[in-house]
């Protein structure tokens, strides 16, 4: 009861904040019709006078900033989707990326000294008091180590854990209510979605996990300069402090800045999309916060990425599903696209395959009727979600983060190069991965792994055989009476087929042993 009362008060506060900033139109996103907004307007009162002169996007940004870190992340995501929310609103929401009010530098210094156990002067030879970026979770200061290395120092906001815990409690409370009262909630899996978000937040609140993620990505791309992660200074890193090499590049937030630096935006976009797709399909580990504030370009157009707090992982089954699905849509093979859903178990077997294929055609054909540079992966995913709902496809929580990241990456790409064709970037990467994973060499590799697994189990099997032989030597072989009668029958009857079966099995076992171990 206390939890419900607390969260109801929180919802009232959210409505009051939206009303003060004249942003109650966001309630319309819930699809409840005009009456909730009208009621909230009457109950919450008129907006502040200063809000009346602001653009819609500025009012939304101000409201989300006041509501806290999880709401700010919502605004950051939509700041890259000018095609959905409008270019002016997207530009205003972009202010939420790394331009939030910083917390006092004295608190940042105190956190660093407490976490690293030394006075700041013994850790860095110089430390810039003015933060270079202030985001919803942390802020970043430039510094120089006592070894003369230029670094970026990320420090968590004080009290950020409690702020997120409050929001997560509200989301889980709402998810459980939706699960009980909404007939479609089971398919959408709201509780699992909130749980996944909570796990991501837990990882993001410990900067050592971000350091490990950056290190892993750097290793994955050690032979490919198109996507570079900064090296981690592990000595100066802890749970609330992360120190990495300073990145020198041009931000992807402004196309004109790239042009002024002599960097071709088309090359930047090509590298961004290829790197993202490589992370998704080849590595199964991808940067899931690809907004422009986290991306820079070097003079050659390679991507220099920062902020590895939000990462996504996909297992082989999910990657195979996505690859086959996208290739089916690229080739306009809608029956195959339908079969992929059924093979993955995402669509219940009772649903008609041909009808589902027809529904997928209704998604693909209108999109492919557009000019190639106007085809949006975001629109495809949105239509696919609406269609699969009719065929009782449960929400796949492991794919939601990828869907969101794809939408953001496409938004960044189109901002820099309006003529970019996502499918042209995707097809060669996916086809190359499919050849490696599904071709003959991959099959041989799979057989080899299975053989190695069997070989590792041999000592245990030998030990069990030795124990069994010792028991036989001690107690003799005890046979069931039916078995004794069957053996006696073999002596007088025709037992040639059984002998052939026995020795045939032995021969097969010997051949398999030779294949795996010689």
pLDDT tens figures, 128-165:
999 998 888 899 999 999 999 999 999 999 988 888 88
Does residue 518 sit within a domain? yes
Q: Are residues 434 and 483 in the same domain?
A: no
**Domain end residue (candidates: 81, 96, 111):** 96
CA–CA distances in Å: residue 236 to residues 104, 188, 208, 469: 21, 42, 11, 59
* Residue-number span of the structural domain to which 66 is assigned: 2-96
CA–CA distances in Å: residue 407 to residues 80, 227, 401, 410: 8, 19, 10, 5
b/e per residue, 53-74, with b = 16+ CB within 10 A?
ebeebbbbbbbbbebbbbbbbe
More confident residue, 312 or 457: 312
Per-residue confidence band for 479, with pLDDT thresholds at 50, 70 and 90: low
Q: Are residues 275 and 418 in the same domain?
A: yes
Pairing of strands 311-313, 285-287: antiparallel
DSSP state of 21: T
Compute the distance between CA of residue 358 and CA of residue 349 in angstroms, rounded to an integer.
Answer: 16
Does residue 186 sit within a domain? yes
Q: What is the pLDDT of residue 447?
A: 54
Does residue 112 sit within a domain? no
pLDDT, mean of residues 231-245: 97
- Per-residue pLDDT tens digits for 280-298: 999 999 998 888 889 999 9
pLDDT, mean of residues 302-329: 90
Q: Are 132 and 152 in contact (CB under 8 A)?
A: yes
Does residue 230 sit within a domain? no
Partners of 227 in the β-ladder: 303
Q: Are residues 54 and 165 in the same domain?
A: no
Compute the distance between CA of residue 109 and CA of residue 129 in angstroms, rounded to an integer.
Answer: 9
Mean pLDDT, rounded, of the chain: 79
CA–CA distances in Å: residue 228 to residues 215, 245, 484: 10, 11, 71
Q: Are residues 287 and 398 in the same domain?
A: yes
Partners of 156 in the β-ladder: 138
Q: Are residues 412 and 484 in the same domain?
A: no
Does residue 167 sit within a domain? yes
The total number of structural domains that make up the chain: 4
Does residue 106 sit within a domain? no
Q: Are residues 425 and 488 in the same domain?
A: no
**Domain end residue (candidates: 386, 411, 438):** 438
Q: Are residues 259 and 392 in the same domain?
A: yes
Q: Are residues 348 and 410 in the same domain?
A: yes
Q: What is the pLDDT of residue 233?
A: 97
b/e per residue, 13-46, with b = 16+ CB within 10 A?
ebbebbbbbbbbebbeeeeeeeeebeebbeebee
Does residue 386 sit within a domain? yes
**Domain end residue (candidates: 69, 96, 123):** 96
Compute the distance between CA of residue 372 and CA of residue 421 in angstroms, rounded to an integer.
Answer: 6
- Per-residue pLDDT tens digits for 37-50: 666 666 666 676 66
- With tokens 């110089």, the residue in question is 126
Q: 48: alpha, beta or left, given left = phi > 0 and alpha = psi -120 to 50?
A: beta
What is the token pair recorded at 47? 């907006």
Q: Are residues 191 and 262 in the same domain?
A: no
Q: Are 303 and 296 in contact (CB under 8 A)?
A: yes
- Per-residue pLDDT tens digits for 367-392: 776 665 666 666 676 677 667 777 87
Q: Say which of 22, 98, 233, 289 is annotated catalytic.
A: 289
**Beta-strand runs (E) in 7-70:** none
Q: Are residues 173 and 263 in the same domain?
A: no
Q: Are residues 46 and 181 in the same domain?
A: no
Compute the distance between CA of residue 200 and CA of residue 193 in angstroms, rounded to an integer.
Answer: 11
Q: Are residues 485 and 431 in the same domain?
A: no
Catalytic, 289? Answer: yes
207-221, 262-276, 454-468: range with lowest mean pLDDT: 454-468
């Amino acid at each position: 009861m206390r939890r419900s009362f607390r969260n109801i008060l929180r919802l009232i506060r959210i409505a009051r904040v939206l009303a003060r900033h004249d942003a109650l139109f966001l309630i319309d996103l819930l699809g409840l019709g005009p009456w909730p907004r009208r009621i909230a307007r009457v109950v919450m009162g008129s907006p502040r006078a200063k809000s009346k002169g602001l653009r819609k996007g500025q009012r939304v940004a101000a409201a989300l900033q006041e509501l806290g870190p999880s709401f700010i992340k919502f605004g950051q995501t939509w700041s890259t989707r000018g095609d959905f929310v409008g270019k002016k609103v997207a530009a205003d929401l972009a202010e939420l990326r790394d331009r939030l009010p910083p917390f006092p530098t004295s608190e940042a210094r105190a956190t660093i000294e407490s976490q690293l156990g030394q006075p700041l002067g013994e850790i860095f030879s110089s430390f810039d008091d003015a933060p270079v970026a202030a985001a919803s979770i942390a802020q970043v200061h430039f510094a120089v180590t006592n070894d003369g290395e230029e670094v970026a120092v990320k420090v968590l906001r004080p009290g950020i854990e409690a702020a997120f815990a409050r929001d997560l409690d509200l989301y889980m409370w709402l998810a459980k209510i939706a699960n009980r009262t909404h007939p479609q909630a089971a398919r959408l899996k709201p509780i699992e979605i909130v749980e996944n978000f909570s796990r991501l937040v837990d990882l993001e609140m410990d900067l050592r996990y971000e350091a490990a993620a950056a290190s892993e990505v750097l290793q994955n791309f050690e032979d490919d300069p198109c996507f570079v992660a900064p090296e981690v200074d592990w000595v100066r890193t802890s749970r609330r402090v992360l120190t990495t090499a300073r990145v020198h590049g041009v931000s992807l937030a402004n196309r004109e800045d790239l042009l002024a630096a002599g960097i071709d935006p088309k090359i930047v976009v090509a590298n961004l999309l290829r790197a993202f797709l490589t992370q998704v399909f080849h590595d199964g580990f991808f940067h899931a916060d690809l907004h422009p504030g986290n991306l820079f370009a070097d003079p050659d157009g390679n991507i220099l990425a920062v902020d590895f707090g939000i990462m996504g992982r996909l297992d082989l089954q999910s990657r195979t599903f996505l690859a086959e699905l996208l290739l089916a849509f690229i080739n306009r093979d809608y029956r195959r696209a339908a079969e992929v859903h059924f093979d993955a178990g995402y669509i219940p077997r009772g649903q008609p395959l041909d009808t589902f294929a027809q529904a997928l055609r209704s998604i693909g054909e209108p999109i492919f009727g557009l000019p190639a540079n106007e085809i949006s992966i975001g629109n495809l995913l949105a239509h696919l979600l609406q269609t699969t709902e009719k065929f009782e496809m449960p929400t796949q929580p492991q794919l939601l983060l990828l869907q969101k990241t794809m939408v953001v990456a496409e938004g960044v790409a189109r901002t820099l190069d309006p003529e970019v064709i996502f499918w042209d970037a995707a097809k060669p990467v996916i086809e190359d991965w499919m050849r490696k994973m599904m071709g003959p060499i991959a099959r041989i590799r799979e057989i080899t792994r299975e053989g190695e697994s069997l070989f590792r189990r041999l000592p245990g099997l030998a030990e069990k055989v030795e124990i069994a032989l010792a028991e036989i030597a001690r107690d003799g072989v005890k046979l069931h009476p039916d078995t004794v009668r069957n053996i006696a029958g073999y002596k007088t009857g025709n037992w040639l087929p059984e002998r052939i079966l026995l020795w045939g099995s032995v021969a097969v076992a010997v051949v398999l042993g030779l294949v795996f171990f010689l």
